[in-house]
């Protein structure tokens, strides 16, 4: 069926409105449930403090404190990607909202993009709060020389991360009760490989094979590059490999999430799982 220019324009406007509406929920949630926002800043700080004390006990160089704080700040994004984007379609199914999305003329991708955009924005605020509080609590020093490189790396990391979240959201569409357990299972192993509390890519401890596996996670490239730029005073030329890696991940993850969403929606409809709760 051919579509006129007016139809495409209407579709675009509709889907942009959907992106805005879904992102708005995330931002409104900051004010409606302020204790969640406080918890999402305070809770990562507790484990962050524990690892800083552990490095202090080991008499590690002072930059390791800053490594932990930067890792802890970026951890907020992974939590949001996991629980706020990946598991979101599962929550929508549990609360009976998913069927309304399916009945509406809006693109499901626009719904996911809205969740991702809103989530990224409010998590950036939380992440900055973690960084600020961590910096106030411990005697850390930063050495930022190339702010443009930092912004490029940060934006690429966030785009790749939320692309991964959107891909997982499609997969989670098929899940029942296992969704929360799978999301739970994707926490500690990801912390382990992505180097939330220690350097991975620039460390001699890990083999090339481990580094290669860890590079599949956008957080690994992102945290490593941000630490190099923000703490070690490096410049764009030192993080070129990270930028290439993150760009590749963006190029793979975003189209994959679109394809997976269409596929999983089709499978869910065939298996009658879109409205099935508590299974």
Binding site for another protein (CB under 8 A): 33, 35-36, 39, 42-43, 46-47, 49-51, 53-61, 64, 91, 94-95, 176-178, 181, 184-185, 187-189, 191-192, 197-199, 203, 205, 278
Specify the residue, 185 or 251, whose C-beta has the smaller distance to another protein.
185
Q: Cβ(172)–Cβ(87) under 8 Å?
A: yes
**Could you tell me the smallest distance in angstroms from the CB atom of residue 63 to another protein?**
9
Do residues 138 and 52 lie in contact, with contact meaning Cβ atoms separated by under 8 Å? yes
Least distance CB 90 / another protein (angstroms): 12
State the minimum distance, in angstroms, from the CB of residue 64 to another protein: 6
Please identify, using beta-carbon distances, which residue of 103 and 278 lies nearer to another protein.
Answer: 278
Nearer to another protein (CB atom), residue 2 or residue 279: 279
**Nearest-10 crossing angle of helices 147-172, 218-230:** 160
Determine the Cα–Cα distance for residues 69 and 64; give it in Å rounded to an integer.
9
User: Least distance from C-beta 97 to another protein, angstroms?
Assistant: 9
Q: Which C-beta is closer to another protein: that of 44 or that of 118?
A: 44
Nearer to another protein, 214 or 246 (CB): 214
Sign (positive/negative) of CA torsion 164, 166, 167, 172?
positive
Please give the Cα distance from 243 to 85 (Å, whole number).
24
Q: Provide CB contacts within 8 A for 133, sequence distance 6+.
A: 41, 45
Separation CA 139–CA 245 (nearest Å): 32
Instruction: For the CB of residue 243, give the shortest distance to another protein in the complex, in Å.
Output: 25
HEC per residue, 248-264: HHHHHHHHHHHHHHHHH
Question: Could you tell me the smallest distance in angstroms from the CB atom of residue 83 to another protein?
Answer: 9
Tell me whether residue 12 or residue 54 sits nearer to another protein (CB atom). Answer: 54
């Amino acid at each position: 069926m051919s579509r006129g220019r007016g139809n495409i324009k209407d579709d675009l406007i509709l889907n942009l409105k959907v992106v805005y509406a879904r992102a708005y929920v995330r931002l409104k949630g900051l004010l409606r449930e302020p204790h969640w926002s406080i918890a999402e800043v305070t809770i990562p700080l507790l484990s962050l403090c524990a690892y800083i004390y552990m490095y202090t006990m080991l008499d590690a160089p002072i930059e390791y404190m800053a490594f932990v704080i930067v890792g802890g700040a970026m951890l907020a994004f992974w939590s949001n990607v996991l629980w706020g984007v990946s598991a979101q379609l599962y929550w929508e199914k549990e609360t009976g909202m998913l069927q309304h999305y399916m009945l509406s003329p809006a693109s499901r991708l626009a719904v996911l993009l809205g969740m991702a955009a809103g989530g990224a924005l409010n998590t950036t605020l939380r992440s900055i709060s973690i960084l600020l509080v961590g910096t106030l609590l411990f005697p850390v020093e930063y050495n930022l020389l190339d702010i443009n490189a930092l912004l490029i790396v940060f934006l690429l990391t966030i785009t790749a991360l939320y692309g991964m979240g959107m891909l997982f959201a499609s997969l989670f569409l098929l899940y029942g009760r296992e969704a929360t357990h799978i999301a739970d299972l994707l926490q500690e192993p990801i912390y382990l490989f992505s180097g939330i509390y220690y350097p991975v890519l620039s460390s001699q401890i890990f083999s090339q094979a481990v580094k290669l596996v860890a590079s599949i996670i956008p957080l690994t490239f992102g945290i490593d590059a941000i630490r190099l730029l923000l703490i070690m005073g490096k410049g764009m030329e030192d993080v070129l490999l990270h930028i290439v890696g993150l760009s590749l991940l963006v190029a793979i993850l975003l189209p994959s999430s679109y394809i997976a969403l269409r596929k999983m929606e089709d499978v869910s409809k065939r298996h009658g799982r879109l409205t099935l709760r508590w299974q």
